[in-house]
Amino acid sequence: MKQKILVAGGTGYIGSHTTVELQNAGYEVVIIDDLSNSNIEVLDGIERITGIRPEFIQLDLKDKEGTREALKAHPGIKGIILFAASKAVGESVQQPLKYYRNNVVTLVNLLELMPEFNIEGIVFSSSCTVYGQPDPENLPVTENAPIKPATSPYGNTKQINEEIIRDTIHAGAPFKSIILRYFNPIGAHPTAEIGELPNGVPQNLIPYLTQTAMGIRKELSVFGDDYDTPDGSCIRDYINVVDLAKAHVIAMDRMLGGKSLDNVEIFNLGTGNGVSVLELINTFEAATGVKVP
């Protein structure tokens, strides 16, 4: 019998790719998403790739009673993967309460409901932002690197949520968790059926880059040319989104398969290799033959 997984935020960029990989691995997927930064048509793309249309519930996970009813309507969920969150760093500085409400309340609601429905574990989508600006003398960053004070409300919600998960489980909650700290997801499914398609103005480099190349955006601005790097632009660790999605399946297999070494485990998801913004743009231009204004 297939195990059932709730993917919270499953029509988003990483959530949709993870849904594909979960279905390919034999899991049954239920998606809850409020579609605030995604599109219902993503479900069509998932179905074209896998031949399976996941169950979908349009719901704001801050609505605890609504979430309880959704879980009642889909009994037997064994694990949760939590992607649902607001994620724009700049916006979080301008609207901090929106971020604390969306990101923290959603997690607390799910943690409170998990024992009621005998849900065995939760994979939490965290971020490398918890490490702050990395020390050049200590690269690549490992899971044992110190946590630094967050530089934005968005980053702070990731730190707070990690602490909430640890505190809850250490207090005796009857479930486990794997926390995945992402570096910078990039790319799209090789079928091109799903990808990074945010509503409104993109907050990440690649969708902005592709939209500029297509003429949707007027020009691409690179902020910062005086970093201590070979070309002066910022260096980031980019990870292919399909690899990232597969890592979530491995985490779920580990947690539900009784292979976790602790009730709360933390893993970084990256390549350990840095690529500068200008290198990325130049590679995009070389691959597509399109000059980006």
pLDDT-derived band at 98, boundaries 50, 70, 90: very high
Please compute the mean of the pLDDT values over residues 237-245 and round it to a whole number: 95
Handedness of CA 140, 144, 146, 152 (dihedral sign): positive
Fold exhibited by the domain 4-188+238-272: Rossmann fold (3.40.50)
Is the alpha carbon torsion for 9, 191, 40, 94 positive or negative?
positive
Would you kindly state where each structural domain of the chain is located, as residue ranges? 4-188+238-272
Check pLDDT > 80 for residue 224. Answer: no
Alpha-carbon span 29 to 190, nearest angstrom: 21
Higher pLDDT, 221 or 224: 221
Q: Comparing 139-153, 176-190, 215-229, which segment has the lowest mean pLDDT? A: 215-229
Strands 121-127 and 4-8: unpaired
Residue (of 130, 114, 116, 43) closest to 82 by Cα position:
114
Confidence of residue 82 (pLDDT cuts 50, 70, 90): very high
Mean pLDDT of the 55-61 span: 98
- The sheet with strand 274-276 has its strands ordered as 184-186, 235-240, 274-276
Q: List all residues 6 or more positions away from 12 whose beta carbon is below 8 Å from its beta carbon.
A: 33, 37, 38, 83, 84
What does the alpha-carbon distance between residue 176 and residue 43 come to, in Å, rounded to a whole number?
29
Average pLDDT over residues 77-82: 99
Higher pLDDT, 172 or 88: 172
- State the catalytic residue, choosing from 154, 182, 208, 238: 154
User: 207-221, 244-258, 265-279 — which is least confidently predicted?
Assistant: 207-221
> Which residue's entry shows tokens 């019998």?
1
Summary mean pLDDT of the chain: 93
Task: Provide the token pair at 229.
Answer: 């790097």
Mean pLDDT computed over 152-176: 98
The confidence band for 1, taking pLDDT boundaries of 50, 70 and 90, is low
Cα gap 143→84, rounded to integer Å: 23
Asked if 100 is an active-site residue, the reply is no
Residue 211 has pLDDT above 90, yes or no: no
Structure token pair of residue 99: 């971020």
Handedness of CA 195, 196, 201, 205 (dihedral sign): negative
Assign 155 to helix, strand or coil: helix
Q: Exposed/middle/buried for 24, CB within 10 Å: 0-12, 13-18, 19+?
A: middle
The pLDDT value recorded for residue 62 is 98
Task: Look at residues 146, 64, 126 and name the one whose alpha carbon lies nearest to residue 267.
Answer: 126
pLDDT at 235: 85
Helix and strand tally (H, E) in the chain?
Answer: 10, 10
pLDDT-based confidence at 255, cuts 50/70/90? very high
Structure tokens belonging to residue 222: 């690179």
